[in-house]
Chains A and B, each alone.
Chain A
Amino acid sequence: MPNKPWLSEGLTEKEYEMIVDLLDRKPTTTELGIFGVMWSEHCSYKNSKLILKNLFTEGECVLQGPGENAGIIDIGDGQAISFKIESHNHPSAVEPFQGAATGVGGIIRDIFTMGARPIANLNSLRFGELNNDKVQYLFKGVVSGISSYGNSIGIPTVGGEVYFSSAYEGNPLVNVMSVGLLKKENIATATAKGEGNSVMVVGAATGRDGIKGASFASDELSEDSKEDRPAVQVGDPFMEKLLLEASLELINTNSLIGIQDMGAAGLTSSSAEMASRGNSGIEIDISKVPTREKNMTSYEIMLSESQERMLIIPKKGKEQVVKDIFNKWDLHAEVIGRVNDDGMLRIFNGEDKVAEISAKILADEAPEYRRETKLPEYIKNVNEINANDIKSEDYNNDLLDLLSSPTIASKKWVYEQYDYMVMTNTVVGPGSDAAVIRIKGKDKALALSTDSNGKYCYLNPRRGAAIAVAEAARNIVCSGGKPLAITDGLNFGNPMNPEIYWQFKNSVEGITKACKKLDTPVIGGNVSFYNESPKGAIYPTPIIGMVGLLDSLKDKTTMHFKNEGDLIYLIGKNVEELGGSEYLELKEGKVDGYVPQLDLNLEKRVQKTVREAIKENIINSAHDCSEGGVAVNLAESCFENNLGVNIKINKEISNKALLFGESQSRIIVSISKELASKLENIAVENCVPYGKIGVVEGTQFKFNNLIKLDVEEMKVKWETAIEKKL
């Protein structure tokens, strides 16, 4: 053993001492490796657990909260939805194609292990500015990795978001959300119980890929990170498709005690976590594990993150059922050990015992740290932004420039590479506020959205994170749904840095506050720390993935204007706010200012107003106001049907804030003249400010006397901007 062997396992000297103390002896090489991954941030959440305990996780619809492979909510009729978001940032930074592909594979497994058939994927991506070769390589690689895996396995990629900012240049973010449908009675759990029950490994054979990936993900990226490429797993979507079908077939036979995906830390974490959940132990003989390569050591077999594998505890006597189903799909299914009742994880290699550790110690007793927090220096220097601080000569050009900035531009180049229609449930696909997925045989549907604005979270983490929740809910409402619950993908820099930890703590507080107010509990999620490159930390980026329910497909609403002559209303209030806006960054190259205010009471009422109007079936379109401001959001509603607008707003605020400010809690709707008074009544009843701001007409975009453009010209710029940069 080298000097201080714990260092290469990512453990501190103190943690090593704890381990010696807990075991009452020095750990073996395999044991130390096991501790290294199990006590890594990725598996143990040791730096985040204490903060995450404060999240709002309870609600009427919650069937399974955080702690399992994925959370589950009730959607009525005996049906349930399992969903979760997960990051694969570090692997994607060093090997974008495989990193992103296996990110998709990993989250899909989390969903079908719960007994749910995955029916939709979304992804939330962050890259540096597109004018740089390395960023383009990462961007293309990630998109094609997601496309390759998701398309092949036959789950539609129906939505998501992509932002470009230099803060993500060395460390892109790849967060994938998967959503599955199940019958309530088929909920599976990841528990190992019942002395003498068999432990089986099913799916792919184990190889030497992805060894110690969990530890790799729990460190900052450096110039040498490309040396860690062997820590990136290689995905096989074909194998996963077989595994998915076999697993769901098996779960339907009611032959299982427990089933768990082998994700981060492979066999180690799946066995320790399953045993710990069932207050049991597990004994494994690693010589029985099917391997792809000869002479793999016990260390390698225990720590491999080879993809497309599951650990299964069948009910007594049901081993053959498992084997028959997996053999039908040409997959391995081998008994590799048994459940015991003394709580110990014992690893044998044939006759030799190579590790013996209490499962509880590994899975639940990792140290928990409350890291130091400090108000970041830059926050003290955030300035108020006045409209006069932004120089502009021509609002026509400003609008065109915003529409062709990659963050705002159409993401067609991305989503046309994703199969967003397979399974034939996609009622509203990518490019609207939220995707809408029908549930065959029922009139109801799901609305799905992911949201986060890293700039807001950088300038004010608490408010920025709350806005992410509010915007996700607004998107759901605009699509005709009722917001139900969220999953959170928390992406931050190094938690040892007190300023980063402050960002983290405040973001979680913001999420909690908004979730409570909007009654959308967190049912699971993922923390990704150490998102730093030599250039510094990323913007704090808590990504909110939200699921909502449309009671009826009649409620389906899109953002597109539909009829000439329809009136356009803005529900909510325009405020003089330019801080953190896309406009400010475009014109002045600055990320500065006070993040738009968020009054959660007003937010709730605005959402209620639009939801009631949709239920009354009176409005023809609804679109959330977000990045780029009202001018950009109106333009987005014009494009699909090539309809123009004539906007006349009595202004109480500056032209710049009116056009491009990003005030929250605003929704643009269109409605026929005859029904407009009904909408006004609903708004008044809910004490919500509103304004009739214009009419859908012609093929030109006219806004007061400030902007006059052809919709076609705007659309071409918006649609081709990303492609032109590549």
Chain B
Amino acid sequence: MKAGVVTFPGSNCDADVFHVLKNIFNIDTKMIWYKDKNIKGYDLIVLPGGFSYGDYLRSGAIARFAKVMDPIIDFAEKGGLVLGICNGFQILLESNLLPGAMKVNDNLKFVCKNTVLTVINNKTPFTNQCEKSAAIEMPVAHGEGNYYIDKEGLKELNENNQIILKYKNKKVNPNGSINNIAGICNKERNVFGLMPHPERCSEPLITPGKSDGYNIFSSIISFINKRGGKIAK
């Protein structure tokens, strides 16, 4: 298995994801520069968190025009696994790989803390090692994580089981997102965007001390190992 982590100008969780894939899971992992037009041989592409292009204009709005996005969209359309974390999720929305949009947090402040989530769908490449309906913990750190989608879109998300993660309830929802949504996938299940940071909770040593993020990465690896080299080569 080979993973790639994209560095946009202003990405700041690229090294963190790289560390987890490379050093915790011993996966062959490469950094991908945002100007690269050719990406070949990957099984997983991660769009990491951060402030691509300073989040100027709107988070993710400029990054979607980076050269690397064309081959990534192509990769996704061919069934390659794409994981967008935080700013990466925002970029996936801006590039229409996922439906909906992101608004500023409802309290208008940046928020960094641990959150309790519920796994809504565990039959995906990204959550197959999680228990369904289990309460898991992952930290968030964002100023624009207030996910929004119109009524029809929401209905569609529900009907297709595209909602993968929700904040446990309204009280612990850190940003005011609609239906407490924290992470969604596309219909085909190969593109997943989430606001919480699994790479920040894959080792019990570091704050917040839980390691529920580990299961997200192990789900991906398990999926790819089972699938073998069938897609996106």
A interface residues (Cβ-Cβ under 8 A, vs B) = 144, 147-148, 151-154, 236-239, 241-242, 329-330, 415-429, 438, 440, 553
Contact = CB atoms under 8 A, between A and B. Distances in A.
B141 A154 contact: no
Contacts of B13: 154, 422
Given A238-B9, A238-B56, A417 B110 contact: yes
Q: In the A-B complex, list the 9 residue pairs whose CB atoms are closest, starting with the nearest.
A: A154-B12, A238-B54, A152-B51, A419-B141, A426-B207, A424-B16, A429-B207, A419-B112, A417-B110
Interface stretch (B123-131, B180-188, B198-206, B214-222): B198-206
Interface of B: 9-10, 12-13, 15-16, 19-20, 23, 49-51, 53-56, 109-113, 139, 141, 143, 197, 199-200, 203, 205-208
A154 B199 CA distance: 15
Nearest to A441: B23
Given A416-B111, A425-B206, A236 B54 contact: yes
Nearest to B108: A144
A629 B199 CA distance: 39
B19 A424 contact: yes
Nearest to B13: A422
Contacts, number: 90
Given A144-B109, A148-B110, A154-B12, A421 B54 contact: no
Nearest to A556: B205
Nearest to B141: A419
A241 B112 CA distance: 20
A416 B51 CA distance: 18
A140 B111 CA distance: 14
13 contacts: A154-B50, A237-B54, A238-B51, A417-B109, A419-B112, A420-B207, A422-B49, A422-B141, A425-B206, A427-B205, A429-B207, A440-B23, A553-B205
A209 B55 CA distance: 23
A421 B139 contact: yes
Contacts of A151: 51, 110, 112, 141, 143
Contacts of A419: 110, 112, 141
Contacts of B109: 144, 147, 417
A438 B203 CA distance: 12
A151 B208 CA distance: 18
Contact of B53 (A144, A238, A417, A422): A238
A329 B51 CA distance: 15
A421 B51 contact: no
A147 B110 contact: yes
Contacts of B110: 144, 147-148, 151, 417-419
B9 A153 contact: no
B56 to A, nearest CB: 7
A608 B75 CA distance: 59
B206 A416 contact: no
A423 B112 contact: no
A657 to B, nearest CB: 36
Given A152-B55, A424-B200, A417 B111 contact: yes
Question: Which one of A420, A421, A428 has the greatest number of beta carbons of chain B within 10 Å?
Answer: A421
A313 B149 CA distance: 53
Given A417-B112, A420-B112, A241 B16 contact: no
A241 B54 CA distance: 9
B16 to A, nearest CB: 5
Contacts of B55: 152, 238
Contacts of A424: 16, 19-20, 199-200, 203, 206
A633 to B, nearest CB: 22
A423 B15 contact: yes
Contacts of A428: 207
A241 B10 CA distance: 6
A236 B50 CA distance: 15
A724 to B, nearest CB: 15
A331 B109 CA distance: 30
Contacts of A440: 19, 23
A236 B143 CA distance: 17
A421 B9 contact: no
Contacts of A154: 12-13, 50-51
Contacts of B111: 416-417
Nearest to A157: B112
B162 to A, nearest CB: 28
Contacts of B15: 423
Contacts of A438: 205-206
A329 B35 CA distance: 11
A239 B110 CA distance: 20
A427 B109 CA distance: 24
Nearest to B55: A152
Contacts of B20: 424
A422 B16 contact: yes
Question: Which one of A144, A239, A422 has the greatest number of beta carbons of chain B within 10 Å?
Answer: A422
A329 B34 CA distance: 11
A237 B13 CA distance: 15
A30 to B, nearest CB: 33
Contact of B10 (A152, A422, A553): A152
Contacts of B10: 152, 238, 241-242
B33 to A, nearest CB: 9
A418 B53 CA distance: 20
A82 to B, nearest CB: 19
A426 B206 contact: yes
Contacts of B50: 154
A418 B143 CA distance: 10
A154 B152 CA distance: 37
A440 B23 CA distance: 10
Contacts of A417: 109-112
Contacts of A416: 111-113
Given A237-B54, A417-B112, A421-B112, A329 B9 contact: yes
Contact of B112 (A148, A152, A238, A418): A418
A12 B203 CA distance: 60
A147 B108 CA distance: 13
Nearest to A425: B206
A148 B143 CA distance: 9
Question: Which one of B13, B19, B113, B206 has the greatest number of beta carbons of chain A within 10 Å?
Answer: B206
Given A144-B110, A238-B56, 10 more contacts: A151-B143, A154-B51, A237-B54, A417-B109, A420-B112, A421-B139, A422-B13, A422-B16, A422-B141, A429-B207
Contact of B16 (A153, A415, A423, A427): A423
A428 B53 CA distance: 30
